[in-house]
Structure 1
Amino acid sequence: MGTWDIGHFDNDTAADFSGSLDDAAEADRPGILRETLLRVAGTEEYLDSDEAVEAVAAAALVAAQCPGGEPVTTAYGPDEPIPALPSDLRALAVTALDRTLREPSELLELWEESGSGPAWREGVVRLREVLASAGDVPGAGGESALV
């Protein structure tokens, strides 16, 4: 994985994911985000780093539309607009982020080995907090037990 920083889009996989969103019809983008989040949220076995990276990027795009969410302004994020997303994606994004932060997760292992794991994890937990505090997230008290 070509990674240059700890941001949600600061790697080749997330940048490619952004490109695939740009290539899709605007009406298809919410479905692509949903499929990406579902793939990770439903994984009980070893979670591949590329799938986890895409889920974190998707969650960042969902969180950007929540109150308190940060807009995705990096050059590596999508250039094309993301239409208004259904609110049920918030809970799905929380589940996908929780799965990314739980073993067995290749992305979690890679960040822990890099020495930047705590800073990366903090960024993912901040995303989770924005999503959980926006509502429509059953059982999400806004703070992950995975911190």
Structure 2
Amino acid sequence: MGTWDSGPFGNDAAADWCRGPDDAEPAARAGLVGAAPAHAADTPPGTYLDDGEHAVAAAALVAAQCPRGEPAKSAYGPRRPLPDLTAPRPLALEAVDRVLTAPSEPLGLWEGAPSWHGATDRLRAALAPGPVGERASLG
């Protein structure tokens, strides 16, 4: 995997995955974004997770619409507008937790890298349930 940054879109796998939502019809984009975390979350503990970069990129897109999320601005992220992605928020959190559980390719590659762990911790915090009445932002 080519990697140039510890952020969610800073590797070849995530950058390539982002073309999917860009190439899809608008009505299909939310489904594509939700599929990556679903795959990671469904990978049982003890089973090697080899494409967790897709789940992290998708989770970053979901988190960007959460009140505590960071904007998903990257030259390698999707360029086209995304629909409301708040429905897969719990699944995206579960996927990030799975990526952070061995055996996981991203976890193995970034073990001992504070910048990746910090970015992933911020992503996880943005996806965590917030106070009652918290509202998502589509902007």
TM-score band w.r.t. shorter chain: 0.7 to 0.9
Q: Which residue in 1 is equivalent to 2:75?
A: 75
Are 1:13 and 1:53, in contact at CA under 8 Å, matched by a contact in 2? yes
The residue type paired with residue 60 of structure 2 is: A
Residue segments in structure 2 that go unaligned for 5+ positions in a row: 133-139
Sort the Cα spacing of 1:76 and 1:108 in 2 relative to 1 into closer, same or farther, 3 A: same
> In angstroms, what is the RMSD of aligned CA positions?
1.5
Task: Specify every segment of 5 or more residues in structure 1 that has no aligned partner in the other structure, as ranges.
Answer: 137-147
Deviations 1:75-118 (A, max 9, x none): 11101011112x33111011000000001111111111xx5x22
Aligned to 2:136: none
Does 1:64 find its partner at 2:69?
no
**4+ runs deviating over 3 angstroms:** 133-136
Percent identical among aligned pairs is 52
- The count of residues paired between Structure 1 and Structure 2 equals 130
Determine the structure 2 residue equivalent to 1:84: 84
CA–CA separation in structure 2 for the residues paired with 1:134 and 1:62: 14
> What's the CA shift for 1:33?
1.3
Q: Which of 118, 124, 130 pairs up with 2:120?
A: 124
Given the alignment of the two structures, is residue 36 of structure 1 paired with residue 32 of structure 2, yes or no? no
1:24 pairs with 2:20: no
TM-score by length of structure 1 reads 0.83
Q: Does the residue aligned with 1:84 lie in a helix, a strand or coil? A: coil
**Contact 1:38/1:96 (<8 A) preserved:** yes
